[in-house]
Structure 1
Amino acid sequence: MDKVVASAAEAVSDIPDGATLAVGGFGLCGIPSVLIQALLDAGTTELEAVSNNCGVDDWGLGLLLGERRIRRMVSSYVGENKEFARQYLSGELEVELTPQGTLAERMRAGGSGIPAFFTATGGGTQVAEGGLPWKYDEAGNVLLASPAKETREFTVNGETREYVLEQSIVADFGLVRAWKGDRHGNLVYRDSARNFNPLAAMCGRVTIAEVEHLVEPGEIDANDVHTPGVFVQRVVALSPEQAEDKRIEKRTVRPRPLVGEIDHPPSRNPGSEEAS
């Protein structure tokens, strides 16, 4: 039952070229950065990654992308990665863009043994009708486009709408990051870092979790477990330095106020008596 492995390198050592990976995280929040680096160091290539996004140019999945290790991405948002856009538009990368909620449900359904489901999202658009560019050639022509999907009309609460059949996702490996985990693979995520991690853990045939705090079995209250150990096959305990190495995708700050403004903030109305 002890699922702890000695290192990230050992944990990813059997991931072959061409594998499909479900990767947790949202932006740079909650991404399994140590496992991604281990894959980069291993030289694994021709990967298909299923993740909300592809990191940024110099961190997360963007590191694998920059080394041409990813051949295909299934994502819902890719706007923060210039190299991603360049590879996609120049025909070097295949991309299946999927509505975010649909992507989440496809992953959850895969982990639950549900082969497909109907959703209203995308009805009446190219998501359902097909034709979304998946891959371009070097000249910018569409080489591969999304196929048309099965649709049906359902009446819900008296309203009849078109629903689109979406297939679930089951990945060869799931890579996730947890705030706390025990040796049996039970995981707890912290705040917004939960995001896509439970879904990636569910839909991986073999799921590898890097954990910031490794505890003994029984130390996590069963009511606090977000991902049960049944979904996790390997656990990697991070060092304090690895756990603290978290990047900020976009840093937004306000100008530091002057010393006098702290004690006497200016009035909202410059023409008032207080301002004069």
Structure 2
Amino acid sequence: MVGSNRNSTGKLVVRYVVAAILLFMMVYPYLYMVLNSFADWTQIDRKFIPNSFSTKSYEWLFSGGETGITRPWVSSFFNSVLVSIASTALMMMSGIMVAYALSKLNFRGRDTINNFVLFHMFFPAIILLIPTFLIVQKVGLYDTYWGMILPKAVSLWAIFMYTNFFKAIPSVFIEAAKLDGASDFKIMYRIMLPMSKSITTVIFLFLIMERWTELLWDMIIVRSDDMLTLNVLLSQMFGPYGTYPGPLYAASVLLTLPIIILFIFFGKKFQEGMQFNLK
């Protein structure tokens, strides 16, 4: 008995050590980025843990670098928040409505639409980049917020995820609601959506992260300086200043910080949603 207890304790210690090493490997790249964003410029990328810190990189970033021109950081951050939230909201609304129709309504062509969604998910998005740009330019949405938002208003991945989740919800709830006179719209947002909080959190986090980090579309659809998103602003700023690693680390920290805060805030619901997906 004593030997078996020692073996189990030894195995447990090994598991904790391996888990700690793996956790450190995953966390350290971001920690390295944060430390170097505050490190003295003479120690950036020269030590694993700098021993001299300053805010020079952030001061350089917000002062416009060598140009001395103050960049519109506040307006660019606002543009990123506005575009990301609006696009994510539209993607989730369209995903819920289409998924409800594909999972709970019977109509001609439902299987064809479902197969089209699955088939279209395998297409790289860049294939439709030029046709989408030409359409947006033709309808007069070039260099506007709507030009950045509307082409990103539908997510086939969100439709796929919601469809699979809604199929697992018993139809008896919908039938009972219809007997009480509830419309399909009310059923969607009063019954289906509250029952899918966990998967909604997963979809929301992935969609807003994808839209927040979007660069290529915002770069080609925006021309005015006051319409730039944070990603585009940083890409323009570090074009001629790519040899300044400190400010580059600082900019990366500013970009990733909102996403990390969201993941921490919705962590519990995110885990619940991921557990459902793995079942």
TM-score by length of 1: 0.22
In our comparison, the structure showing a higher alpha carbon Rg is 2
Structure with greater proportional strand content: 1
Structure with greater proportional helix content: 2
TM-score by length of 2: 0.22
